[in-house]
A and B are shown apart, each in its own frame.
Chain A
Amino acid sequence: MTVLAVSALLVLSGCATDEPTTGASGSPSAGTGSGTGEQSKFFVRADYDKQLALLDATPTGPAGKPWEQALNPEMVETAKFKKPGPYKICFSNAGLNNPWRQVGFKTMRAEVDTHRGRISEFVHVDAEGKDQKQIADINDLLGKGCHALIVSPNTTATLTPAVEAACRKGLPVIVFDRGVDTTCPVTFINPIGGYGFGHVAAEFVSQKMKAGGKVLALRILPGVDALETRWAAAKIAFDKAGVDIVGVEFTDGDPARTKKIVNDYIQRYGTIDGVWMDAGAVAGAAVEAFEDAGKPVPPINGEDQLDFLKLWKDKKLTAIAPTYPTYQWRTPIIAALKILDGEQVPNPWKLPQPTITRDNLDEYVDPTMPPLHYAMCGCTDLPGYPRRWK
Chain B
Amino acid sequence: MRIARPPRLLTFRSGGLAPILVILAVLLILLTARQPDFLSPPSLMSFLGRSAPVVLLAAGQYFVIVSGELDLSVGSLVTAQVVIAARLIDGDPSAGRPVAVLLLAFGIAVGLVNGLVTTLLRVPSFITTLGMFLILVGAVYLWSDGAPKGGLSEEFRRLGRSAFEDLPVLGRIPYALVVLLAAAAAALVLTRSDFGRTLVAVGGNPRTAELSGVRVWRAKTMAFVLSSVAATLAAVLIGGYSGVSFQAGAGLEFGAITAAVLGGVALGGGRGSVVGAMLGALTLETLFTLMNFYGVSGALRPTVQGAIILLAVAAASFRLPSR
**Do A and B touch, yes or no (CB under 8 Å, in the complex)?**
yes
Mask of B289-323 contacts with A, CB within 8 angstroms, 1/0: 10011010111110000000000000000000000
Is B247 within 8 A of A97, CB to CB?
no
Write the nearest CB–CB distance from A176 to chain B, whole angstroms.
19
* Stretch of A116-124, A244-252, A312-320, A347-355 lying at the B interface: A244-252
Give which listed residue, B46, B50, B141, B254, contacts A1 with CB less than 8 A.
B254
Is A256 within 8 A of B241, CB to CB?
yes
Is A265 within 8 A of B243, CB to CB?
no
B residues 219-268 with Cβ under 8 Å of A?
Answer: 238, 241-248, 250-251, 253-254
Q: Which of B250, B253, B289, B293 has the most CB of A within 10 A?
A: B250
Write the nearest CB–CB distance from B32 to chain A, whole angstroms.
13
Query: Is B133 in contact with chain A by the CB < 8 A criterion?
Result: yes
B residues near A252, Cβ cutoff 8 Å = 247, 250
B residues near A12, Cβ cutoff 8 Å = 246-247
* Stretch of A30-38, A82-90, A232-240, A379-387 lying at the B interface: A30-38
Query: Is B288 in contact with chain A by the CB < 8 A criterion?
Result: yes
Q: Main SS of the interface on chain B?
A: helix
A residues near B245, Cβ cutoff 8 Å = 253-256, 281-282
Mask of B115-155 contacts with A, CB within 8 angstroms, 1/0: 00000000000000010010001000100011111110000
A292 CA to B154 CA, complexed, in Å: 13
A292 CA to B176 CA, complexed, in Å: 14
Given A1-B254, A222-B299, A249-B298, residue A284 in contact with residue B293 (CB < 8 A):
no
B residues near A259, Cβ cutoff 8 Å = 50, 241-242
Query: Is B269 in contact with chain A by the CB < 8 A criterion?
Result: no
Query: Is B196 in contact with chain A by the CB < 8 A criterion?
Result: no
* Stretch of A2-10, A178-186, A333-341 lying at the B interface: A2-10
What is the size, in residues, of chain B's interface with A at 8 Å between Cβ atoms? 44
A residues near B251, Cβ cutoff 8 Å = 1-2, 5-6
Query: Is B72 in contact with chain A by the CB < 8 A criterion?
Result: yes
Q: Main SS of the interface on chain A?
A: helix
Mask of A285-317 contacts with B, CB within 8 angstroms, 1/0: 100100010000000000000010000000000
A96 CA to B150 CA, complexed, in Å: 20
Query: Is B60 in contact with chain A by the CB < 8 A criterion?
Result: no
Is A263 within 8 A of B50, CB to CB?
yes
Is B292 within 8 A of A372, CB to CB?
no
A residues near B254, Cβ cutoff 8 Å = 1-2, 5
Query: Is B94 in contact with chain A by the CB < 8 A criterion?
Result: no
Query: Is A258 in contact with chain B by the CB < 8 A criterion?
Result: yes
B residues near A285, Cβ cutoff 8 Å = 242-243
Is A8 within 8 A of B250, CB to CB?
yes
Is A370 within 8 A of B149, CB to CB?
yes
Is A264 within 8 A of B298, CB to CB?
no
A229 CA to B127 CA, complexed, in Å: 40
Interface size bucket, A side? 35 or more
Is B292 within 8 A of A260, CB to CB?
yes
Query: Is B37 in contact with chain A by the CB < 8 A criterion?
Result: yes
B residues near A307, Cβ cutoff 8 Å = 151
Write the nearest CB–CB distance from B258 to chain A, whole angstroms.
10
Given A222-B299, A260-B289, A370-B147, residue A9 in contact with residue B250 (CB < 8 A):
yes
Is A371 within 8 A of B151, CB to CB?
yes
Is B298 within 8 A of A33, CB to CB?
yes
Write the nearest CB–CB distance from B80 to chain A, whole angstroms.
13
A residues near B246, Cβ cutoff 8 Å = 8, 12
Query: Is B161 in contact with chain A by the CB < 8 A criterion?
Result: yes
Write the nearest CB–CB distance from B126 to chain A, whole angstroms.
11
A256 CA to B52 CA, complexed, in Å: 12
Query: Is A78 in contact with chain B by the CB < 8 A criterion?
Result: no
Is B298 within 8 A of A102, CB to CB?
no
A residues near B205, Cβ cutoff 8 Å = none
A267 CA to B38 CA, complexed, in Å: 8
The closest CB in chain B to the CB of A32 belongs to B297
Given A219-B298, A250-B298, A255-B245, residue A265 in contact with residue B146 (CB < 8 A):
no
A184 CA to B292 CA, complexed, in Å: 47
Query: Is B75 in contact with chain A by the CB < 8 A criterion?
Result: yes
Query: Is B35 in contact with chain A by the CB < 8 A criterion?
Result: yes
Is B146 within 8 A of A260, CB to CB?
no
A residues near B37, Cβ cutoff 8 Å = 267
Give which listed residue, A1, A33, A284, contacts B243 with CB less than 8 A.
A284
A residues near B141, Cβ cutoff 8 Å = 97
Query: Is B43 in contact with chain A by the CB < 8 A criterion?
Result: yes
The closest CB in chain A to the CB of B130 belongs to A1
Give which listed residue, A6, A97, A247, A371, contacts B148 with CB less than 8 A.
A371
A residues near B298, Cβ cutoff 8 Å = 33-35, 219, 222, 248-250
Give which listed residue, A5, A97, A288, A370, contacts B250 with CB less than 8 A.
A5
Give which listed residue, B38, B43, B242, B295, contacts A247 with CB less than 8 A.
B295
B residues near A34, Cβ cutoff 8 Å = 297-299
Query: Is A268 in contact with chain B by the CB < 8 A criterion?
Result: yes
Is B242 within 8 A of A372, CB to CB?
no
Is A1 within 8 A of B292, CB to CB?
no
A residues 4-29 with Cβ under 8 Å of B?
Answer: 4-6, 8-9, 12
A residues 188-229 with Cβ under 8 Å of B?
Answer: 219, 222-223
Is B299 within 8 A of A4, CB to CB?
no
Q: Which of B37, B72, B292 has the most CB of A within 10 A?
A: B292
Is A256 within 8 A of B149, CB to CB?
no
A250 CA to B247 CA, complexed, in Å: 13
Give 10 closest A-B pairs by Cβ, nearest first.
A33-B297, A255-B242, A33-B299, A102-B146, A222-B299, A250-B298, A5-B250, A99-B147, A254-B247, A264-B292
Besides A8-B247, A371-B148, 18 other CB < 8 A contacts? A1-B75, A6-B251, A12-B246, A33-B299, A34-B297, A252-B247, A255-B243, A255-B248, A256-B53, A256-B247, A259-B242, A260-B288, A267-B37, A268-B292, A288-B161, A307-B151, A370-B147, A371-B151
Offer 27 A-B interface pairs, CB within 8 angstroms, sorted by A: A1-B251, A2-B254, A4-B137, A5-B75, A8-B246, A33-B300, A34-B299, A97-B141, A247-B295, A249-B298, A250-B298, A254-B242, A254-B247, A255-B245, A256-B53, A256-B241, A256-B242, A256-B248, A259-B241, A260-B50, A260-B292, A264-B292, A265-B292, A268-B293, A285-B243, A370-B147, A372-B147
